[in-house]
């Protein structure tokens, strides 16, 4: 969240990550999973690394999109988007596809400066249509971030629904992105 005395970043860019950037995103995933391990038990592998087995799918499967995020041309994070079925119920339940923010990460040095908000909005504008953002209930900081990001993007308050999925309790934000041109 952006504080009152903090200025927005001068230039946030979200762009498709090339296949050659997979090792870079794998490195960032280590930081992401390490941060996440404070709220969700995550075990290191025998090689001393966390694992994210789905990473290659973002270049090999249709409906998956890896993005790198930079601030003033310096690497600052990533976003992974995928087309999936809605978990939120309502009008889009079942086979109706939605865009899903599968993973999203901004390195600590760039947090609380409006960078994540700007990057999330850029991602949503790239994919008009129905969206869902899933947040584990145990991740209070992420919940507050996504509440602000979704509300500021849509221009009104979105109340998430709570569901149980894969043994975890999730808050699901569902909303529409309108095509306002690629950012």
Report phi then psi at 51, rounded to 5.
-125, 145
Instruction: Provide, rounded to the nearest whole percent, the portion of the chain with pLDDT above 90.
Output: 58
Give the pLDDT confidence score for residue 3 in this predicted structure.
46
**Position 89 pLDDT exceeds 70:** no
Alpha carbons 130 and 85: distance in angstroms, whole number: 11
Alpha carbons 116 and 178: distance in angstroms, whole number: 19
3-state helix, strand, coil in the chain (%, to 5): 30, 30, 40
Q: pTM for the complete prediction? A: 0.85
Q: Is residue 95 very low, low, confident or very high in pLDDT (cuts 50, 70, 90)?
A: low
Alpha carbons 44 and 146: distance in angstroms, whole number: 27
User: In the predicted model, what is the mean pLDDT of residues 159-183?
Assistant: 80
Structurally, what CATH architecture does the domain formed by 12-177 represent? 3-Layer(aba) Sandwich (3.40)
**Position 181 pLDDT exceeds 60:** no
User: In the predicted model, what is the mean pLDDT of residues 141-169?
Assistant: 90
């Amino acid at each position: 969240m952006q504080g009152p005395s903090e200025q927005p970043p001068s230039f946030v860019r979200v762009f498709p990550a090339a296949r050659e950037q997979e090792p870079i995103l794998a490195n960032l995933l280590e930081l992401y999973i390490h941060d996440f391990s404070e709220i969700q038990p995550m075990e290191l592998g025998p090689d001393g690394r966390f694992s994210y087995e789905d990473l290659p799918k973002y270049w090999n499967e249709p409906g998956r999109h890896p993005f790198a995020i930079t601030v003033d041309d310096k690497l600052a994070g990533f976003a992974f988007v995928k087309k999936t079925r809605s978990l939120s119920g309502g009008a889009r339940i079942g086979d109706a596809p939605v865009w899903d923010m599968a993973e999203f990460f901004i390195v600590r040095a760039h947090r609380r400066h409006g960078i994540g908000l700007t990057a999330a909005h850029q991602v949503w504008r790239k994919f008009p249509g129905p969206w869902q953002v899933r947040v584990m209930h145990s991740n209070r900081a992420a919940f507050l971030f996504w509440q602000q990001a979704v509300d500021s993007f849509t221009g009104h308050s979105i109340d998430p629904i709570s569901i149980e999925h894969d043994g975890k309790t999730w808050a699901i934000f569902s909303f529409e992105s309108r095509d306002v041109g690629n950012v």
